[in-house]
Structure 1
């Protein structure tokens, strides 16, 4: 979604993704936590110079180091806590993430060393809880979400009920466009100053160095949970290409959800393609170009092209259960039931049974129930025959950035399943998992 001068200029979603389905922000949520701190400071509930040791005296280690003693809220916002790397709160055994953070050694003087640290964002949420007596979602509800008419959300929480802050938060594309527009307008919304303009300026300014590669938008300095980037712009940024990019000099906001490992190339394309097309003056009307753009945006979709419409193998494998050998993806068995233009995939994964409808060359949306560990989610499914005995199944988890492909090769009583994904959390390229199975 592209906004200029406060108006939507262009918007489009690649089907099966839709404008009305909230999408994971990943670390873009950090900028919302920063905004909560801005509200709290404006209301006199805290100062950015407040020391963390004073806010959580009951959680301090026996020995308070000099670096921990001087650590303050501003350092948390800057990702300059002094830790050599991010604090891994998943390693905390007793669920007290605040104490775990405070016990983790701080190697550098706070404010002098940038290290991306999601636990620092968590600590900001803990501070909001401490100084307001509210969770961050309750605190932001009337201050941000209601005035901007943002989607109703809930934040995942730690074992002690404090929001993660730096992840596990979803909004729509329009929501993050509004958020960027609020910052572009320096805190003003519908004639009312929601946040002080001074906070907007400070939060998005350069506060700490994160590198010196001029062509890399991850090395142009860091603000208060906002990334500085080229052309005097800044962005709220999340894993796999989620961002709300604010370009003050051009009066532009660009809101994007993606599923890509190539975040650098994605942001670079804004400077190489979009920026040169932004003029200062008013363009003459061009109805032909406007219609072409509208048609292109309306027809965006991830194609699942049919190579073979049917296969004689369908009748042979109909409703058979294939038990799979032990594998990394924990897929235990699959079966397929074909019915005219659709198929139903029954799959057991992590001891959870799911039935997913698949369209023959088109996408079908499913609402899948969740396990005790996982939330329910929307998954779009499709299938096609590559050749007579090779079936390709595509699954798009439309609320997150992940898509999965299962290529099933059938031979008599056996199946060979090649499982692959568009992304992996460990950031390293991985080949698909080859899994053997037999009919039961």
Structure 2
């Protein structure tokens, strides 16, 4: 699609009707958020590349950044695709241990040596913990998060079986640094964020590594581990408009204003439906004839891309335990507002 309205610097807003969206139906968003989704900080809806709806809550505005939690993982996925295209990483089937030659695995540890970058991207690497019971707090108390994760990798579980791991995403960040010589933050600023007009993520020195520094009120820029590796599975702060920019980039198969930022084939592979409903660090959804892929973060942070409707929905939220599923809000208040 040829377009001349890329929001590299500024977004253009348009009347919902001109974008074939029903303003009356969109007006149901406000009461739904106030009553059932009270921790939402911002909603930005982009149709056909224009902002159709934008609302901020709880004192926030367009320039405020939010900790997007595991949305960070989908950013990491893009960075791996860019690094492969640039020749820093051979391909997605390169072995994880190739990047850590100083780490000597046990000769008998065949499973660990077989684990690839693709296994980390698809959450199909084995770990000793039960599914959804990852001891992330234990990793955060280690002086060397990467070595801790490499020690745990391949211990128990079966190669190829889905098991969600935030530590595995952190290994991907370390792989970016090992292969490019830049932190994921630096690599993203140069190769991903700057080309599409996203704000540069500043280098914020970590004074301590407590809960608030890593997950809570002190999170700024892009959190890093004690050895300087940007956190791969969480810890990135973005504005809602920049969340939407990233979604729009994926909607256009990695192309931005005639510049291929991410290889189109990488985007296709990343969001191709499979039995796990999980691509390369993207959640995949098919429901009632709607196909979507989503970057999801704790507390209800979402970048939802619906290619069939040229729709990107960015939702920033304050962290709370067990927030209501944002998909219900999207399904009930946003998708019905699209008029063809």
Q: TM-score range by the shorter chain?
A: 0.7 to 0.9
What's the CA shift string for 1:85-117, capped at 9, x where partnerless?
A: 465354256522222112215323322x21211
More strand by share: 1
Verify: 1:155 aligned to 2:214, yes or no. no
Task: Provide the residue aligned with 1:182 in structure 2.
Answer: 249
Contact 1:33 1:124 in 2 (8 A): yes
Name the SS for the 1:257 alignment partner.
Answer: strand
Residues 253-268 of structure 1: pairs in structure 2 closer than 5 A: 253-259=312-318, 261=321, 263-268=323-328
Out of 95, 100, 104, the position equivalent to 1:51 is 95
Q: TM-score, normalized by length of structure 1?
A: 0.58
Verify: 1:235 aligned to 2:294, yes or no. yes
Query: Which of 113-122 and 91-100 deviates more?
Result: 91-100
Out of 279, 282, 303, the position equivalent to 1:226 is 282
Residues 10-409 of structure 1: pairs in structure 2 closer than 5 A: 10-46=53-89, 47-83=91-127, 84-85=129-130, 88=135, 90-92=137-139, 95-104=143-152, 105-111=154-160, 113-153=161-201, 154-207=221-274, 209=276, 221-230=277-286, 231-259=290-318, 261=321, 263-280=323-340
Q: Matched residues in 1 for 2:228 and 2:335: separation?
A: 43
> 1:58, CA displacement in angstroms?
1.3
More helix by share: 2
Name the SS for the 2:296 alignment partner.
Answer: strand
Cα distance change, pair 94–234 in 1 and its aligned pair in 2 (3 A)? closer
Name the SS for the 1:177 alignment partner.
Answer: helix
> 1:208, CA displacement in angstroms?
5.2
Cα distance change, pair 274–109 in 1 and its aligned pair in 2 (3 A)? same
Contact 2:302 2:326 in 1 (8 A): no
Q: Matched residues in 2 for 1:96 and 1:73: separation?
A: 20
> 1:147, CA displacement in angstroms?
1.2
Name the SS for the 1:12 alignment partner.
Answer: strand
Q: Matched residues in 1 for 2:87 and 2:275: separation?
A: 25
> 1:144, CA displacement in angstroms?
1.1
What's the CA shift string for 1:193-246, capped at 9, x where partnerless?
A: 11111111111123452xxxxxxxxxxx11111111232101111111100100
Contact 1:235 1:244 in 2 (8 A): yes
> 1:40, CA displacement in angstroms?
0.6
Task: Provide the residue aligned with 1:367 in structure 2.
Answer: none
Looking at both structures, which has the greater relative contact order when contacts are Cα pairs under 8 Å and sequence separation is at least 6?
2
- For these two proteins, the number of residue pairs brought into alignment is 268
Cα distance change, pair 15–263 in 1 and its aligned pair in 2 (3 A)? closer
Query: Which of 161-170 and 67-76 deviates more?
Result: 161-170
Write out the 4+ residue segments of structure 1 that deviate beyond 6 Å after TM superposition. none
Q: Matched residues in 2 for 1:204 and 1:147: separation?
A: 22
Q: Matched residues in 2 for 1:162 and 1:22: separation?
A: 21
Contact 1:184 1:248 in 2 (8 A): yes
Q: Matched residues in 2 for 1:143 and 1:7: separation?
A: 24
Cα distance change, pair 94–116 in 1 and its aligned pair in 2 (3 A)? closer
Q: TM-score, normalized by length of structure 2?
A: 0.74
Contact 1:237 1:244 in 2 (8 A): yes
Cα distance change, pair 130–265 in 1 and its aligned pair in 2 (3 A)? closer
Contact 2:300 2:325 in 1 (8 A): no
Cα distance change, pair 97–208 in 1 and its aligned pair in 2 (3 A)? farther
Contact 1:48 1:74 in 2 (8 A): yes
Q: Point out where structure 2 has 5 or more consecutive residues left out of the alignment.
A: 1-43, 202-220
Q: Cα RMSD (Å) of the superposition?
A: 1.9
